Structure 1
Amino acid sequence: MGIFSKDIKTMDDLFVHTLQDMYYAEKQIHKSLPKMIDKATDPQLKQGLVTHRGETEGHIKRLEQVFIQHGAEAKGVDCPAIDGILEEADEVLGEVADKQVVDAAIIACAQAVEHYEITRYGTLAAWAKQLGRNDCATLLQQNLDEEFAADKKLTKLAEAGINRQAA
């Protein structure tokens, strides 16, 4: 279903479609994180990715709760955007031989994922409020807050030395 599909007729339809998009995206992210964890050499980066994988499990559970609260089926729809971001990350990480550069690349790739999630969760939380679903907005805001925190931690790691060591 494309974004301008005839299946999306209302704001509610758009909200549910975007929820399904994020449900798929979070599951793909959860599946891809072990590869990044394995390739990371910096102990703090490795631990941060492990922690975020656990948070991702929580994001999936919160999305399932939003589906239940909203009365929609918890299912994913293909998300070409996250597929592309993760495919690019896989390609970049496969091309880098220097372990310090790999850590910098992991941070860059992880931040691309975080920024995508931030845009989607921000939109979903705003739409939930507009639809009168503050219960859903609260859960989506929790995911958004965790994504912002993850991005901030990645920036801190990069600026604290990983990027300098890679250079």
Structure 2
Amino acid sequence: MASLGSQIANFFSGDDNNTQEGLHGLFVNELKGIYYAEKQAVDALGEQADASTTDEVRNAFLQHQEETRGQVARLEDVFRSIGVEADDKTCAAIDGLVDDAQEVVSMTDSGSLTRDAGLIIAGQKIEHHEIAAYGSAVTLAKVLGYSEAARMLQQTLEEEKNTDVKLTKLAESFINQRAASENDNDNTSYNSDSNQIVSQGQYGNSVVDPDGTRYSDSSVAGYNSTNDTISGGSRTL
């Protein structure tokens, strides 16, 4: 039996068939886990969209859900390209991440920006898992000489990276800042029509403007976003 050093040398020189066969099995096993994860992600993204507060976050999840459906179909093409029937195997990692996303929904208030911030974090955790999984799969495909599979997996890897960047930009655009204006002791909701947070809490009714400033007023319902006036209140600009 060849020494470990010889096995490693043979692997990198491409002369170790046993190692190649072992890598093929590892590659297929990884593909099955990714296939399972993507199918779980399709359902999870729909649930995250339904739970979202703002149209921006909801649309981000729905767009990636549609993209993920395409990624599932692409994985089936990857399986075909290497002559293996498409199949999946349970991935505990994605199951745990999906559970985390569901926990975010259960622990945040409906209609709050805090929920959207939490959903973005949960979504990015899933994206980071997929980025790691696809990155490894691309490497294995290249080592095994599956150029077509590597190309398709690389395409999906780039899509996952782009989604992660989009979620970061969305969080930094206004979600995180406005979520920080929500008071945990208040009954807070987000009004998508006026693009504002509206709260009924210990300080009475209040409005949080896009700059994160909270204004208290007894007649907040009369807020007119067109001329920035609160009817019957004390704030007129």
TM-score by length of 1: 0.93
Whole-angstrom distance in 1 between the partners of 2:136 and 2:164: 17
* Structure 2 letter corresponding to 1:63: L
Aligned equivalent of 1:20, options 28, 32, 56: 32
Deviation per CA, 1:70-124, whole angstroms, max 9, x where unpaired?
1111011000000001011111211111611000001000000000000000110
Structure 1: gaps spanning 5 or more residues = 1-8
Aligned equivalent of 2:87, options 75, 87, 97: 75
Paired residues in the alignment total 159
| 1:101-116 superposed matches below 5 A | 101-116=114-129
CA RMSD of aligned residues (A): 1.0
Q: Which residue of 2 aligns with 1:30?
A: 42
Whole-angstrom distance in 1 between the partners of 2:150 and 2:64: 21
Deviation per CA, 1:128-148, whole angstroms, max 9, x where unpaired?
000001100000001000000
Q: Which residue of 2 aligns with 1:162?
A: 175
Q: Which residue of 2 aligns with 1:137?
A: 150
Q: Which residue of 1 aligns with 2:75?
A: 63
* Structure 2 letter corresponding to 1:166: A
Structure 2: gaps spanning 5 or more residues = 1-20, 181-237
Whole-angstrom distance in 1 between the partners of 2:43 and 2:104: 17
Q: Percent identity?
A: 42
Shift of 1:30: 0.4
Shift of 1:35: 1.1
* Structure 2 letter corresponding to 1:143: T
Q: Which residue of 1 aligns with 2:55?
A: 43
If each structure's strand is expressed as a fraction of its own residues, which one has the higher value?
A: 2
Which consecutive aligned stretches of 4+ in structure 1 deviate over 2 angstroms post-superposition? Answer: none
Whole-angstrom distance in 1 between the partners of 2:116 and 2:104: 11
Look up the SS of the partner of 1:10 in the other structure: helix
Look up the SS of the partner of 2:126 in the other structure: helix
- Greater relative CO (CA pairs within 8 A, separation 6+): 1
Look up the SS of the partner of 1:73 in the other structure: coil
TM-score by length of 2: 0.66
* Structure 2 letter corresponding to 1:23: Y
* Structure 1 letter corresponding to 2:175: I
Q: Which residue of 2 aligns with 1:4?
A: none
Aligned equivalent of 1:97, options 93, 109, 128: 109
Whole-angstrom distance in 2 between the partners of 1:142 and 1:31: 22
Whole-angstrom distance in 2 between the partners of 1:96 and 1:42: 14
Look up the SS of the partner of 2:89 in the other structure: coil
* Structure 2 letter corresponding to 1:135: E
2:170 maps to 1:151 = no
